[in-house]
Structure 1
């Protein structure tokens, strides 16, 4: 334990140092000290100005890059989704601006967004599983067959797909679909707008950035299963997010760690960039052709985007 004498000595030393500084500052080193301080301040100001200039240049180059990529990729994606109906599904807390950008990209590529579906956090709350399981069984239709080894959330995804999606184009929202939509929205597990008239064939699931502190990757297992179920009842699903979602604590990280999920689901981890938004379109085209891939800049197994051949209409 530090005794009282230690504190006395420390205090005396502090006052001695202060006193010495005052004497030297008022004595023969006064001018020299001021010159040193002024010189250092001048050097710091110059360094700050250089850093500011570099930042402005970097921001300008970033803007140029994004604008250039946006214009170039816009030409590449035009018409890629013509005749395709697409649902946009948002995970709880997904960014609204990012979702708008994804929708705009789909529509610019010729696709029709039939509806936007917002999944409520209650859907994936472990305490609500007792609500999800019986509701899924209640809403199942005669034309939906659950695989024997399917999980509760894979089945829930298949039920949503039966309500808003189909494997083929041109399917209307029939009475069975209306029943499913009413059951899911009435239970407050999700909301959707507008109420669709046509069922989509493809879907984009927009992931939310991980919270702080980041959860364990396994906490997204139910969400991955849900996306798999949605894929099983449609012509294809692309899960899109920012680079953070592909790192520990993110949905895409969990998805890409699931060997079965990556066989059917595609993912794009740079959806916040123009190039990534174009990749979403290419991945949707690829999904419609029965293929899947993991794309982006963070541990993306299949590179930055599907190849030109894969992305052809």
Structure 2
């Protein structure tokens, strides 16, 4: 009985609402709805126009900033890397434009990118760990001493460094480096240009990729960070170049900076997609030659915008 009464009341309420709507529609509120809709549309259009104008302004300011760095500060990196050979290593999925921009700045500073190494995602696939370990054991050279308690990926980084780099300038490609390179490329863990390698470098720049979506946990980069530490141990210095995204959650640069052992020897720059950041990569690489390391950029970069040697005293 209660349910029946409830339905009767509901039906009456519906008809009452419909009747009221007809009366109001024909009365003093006629047209109010359409006017409200039109007013809201005008407001939305204005907000959209304002947003577009703001975007144009932001782009103009960004272009001014980049042009200023490129033109007014041009020449600040000249000669910083004279007579230095550099290996450019790109992480899987690293942006090719970012890599090209970094290479261009290294060459403007007098450096020579002697080898470009593209790492394959297979290298850091947990399912391939045994393959990596086996290769490290098979390819180790007589002059390569692995530190006690070093991890598989630290040793792998040292091994790659033995193939393409050295702690000093002027080390030539020999039978052992050729053996290392052939083994790593044969396993499809990486590719190189030129092939065969003509010159070993003393310095290494590694270009980081932006984090995938969803962002992985920092611990997922443990092997990559160990690999980078190995590269540094086998060369004259390493700088990791990335974007602000790479220094945020799920990024390689953030993972590197979370490793206290890594930050003592490896440098990083998290604004390498900007002209100023590319210059900072050069400054950081030159600092690596002196045996120092630093973390530079805009996102939780504990050492500031650039090495202290190139900042004004007031900064």
TM-score, normalised to structure 1's length?
0.91
Deviation sequence 1:213-267 (CA, Å, 0-9, x none): 1111011011011111111110000011111111121111111111111110001
Shift of 1:8: 9.8
Equivalent residue runs for 1:166-245 within 5 Å: 166-195=166-195, 196-245=197-246
The match for 1:114 is: 114
The match for 1:271 is: 272
Deviation sequence 1:15-50 (CA, Å, 0-9, x none): 876775565344332244444444443343333323
8 Å contact kept, 2:84–2:202: yes
CA distance in 2: counterparts of 1:96 and 1:11, whole angstroms:
67
CA distance in 2: counterparts of 1:90 and 1:16, whole angstroms:
71
The match for 1:59 is: 59
Equivalent residue runs for 1:112-191 within 5 Å: 112-191=112-191
Shift of 1:72: 3.4
CA distance in 1: counterparts of 2:7 and 2:214, whole angstroms:
40
The structure 1 segments of at least 4 consecutive aligned residues displaced by more than 6 Å after TM superposition are 3-16
CA distance in 1: counterparts of 2:23 and 2:36, whole angstroms:
17
The match for 1:254 is: 255
Shift of 1:191: 0.5
* 16 and 245 in structure 1: CA distance in 2 versus 1, 3 angstrom threshold: farther
Partner SS state of residue 75, structure 1 = coil
8 Å contact kept, 1:204–1:238: yes
The match for 1:105 is: 105
8 Å contact kept, 1:118–1:191: yes
Shift of 1:9: 8.2
* 20 and 229 in structure 1: CA distance in 2 versus 1, 3 angstrom threshold: farther
The match for 2:305 is: 304
8 Å contact kept, 2:283–2:310: no
Alpha-carbon RMSD across the aligned residues, in angstroms, is: 2.5
* 15 and 298 in structure 1: CA distance in 2 versus 1, 3 angstrom threshold: farther
Shift of 1:133: 0.8
Partner SS state of residue 213, structure 2 = coil
Select between 218-227 and 13-22 the one with higher mean Cα deviation. Answer: 13-22
* 97 and 13 in structure 1: CA distance in 2 versus 1, 3 angstrom threshold: farther
Shift of 1:58: 1.6
* 18 and 64 in structure 1: CA distance in 2 versus 1, 3 angstrom threshold: farther
8 Å contact kept, 2:295–2:301: yes
* 175 and 15 in structure 1: CA distance in 2 versus 1, 3 angstrom threshold: farther
* 248 and 54 in structure 1: CA distance in 2 versus 1, 3 angstrom threshold: closer
Partner SS state of residue 168, structure 1 = coil
Select between 151-160 and 6-15 the one with higher mean Cα deviation. Answer: 6-15
Partner SS state of residue 58, structure 1 = helix
Q: Unmatched 5+ residue regions in structure 2?
A: none
The match for 1:75 is: 75
Q: How many residues align?
A: 309
Partner SS state of residue 92, structure 2 = coil
CA distance in 1: counterparts of 2:12 and 2:74, whole angstroms:
72
CA distance in 2: counterparts of 1:71 and 1:149, whole angstroms:
49
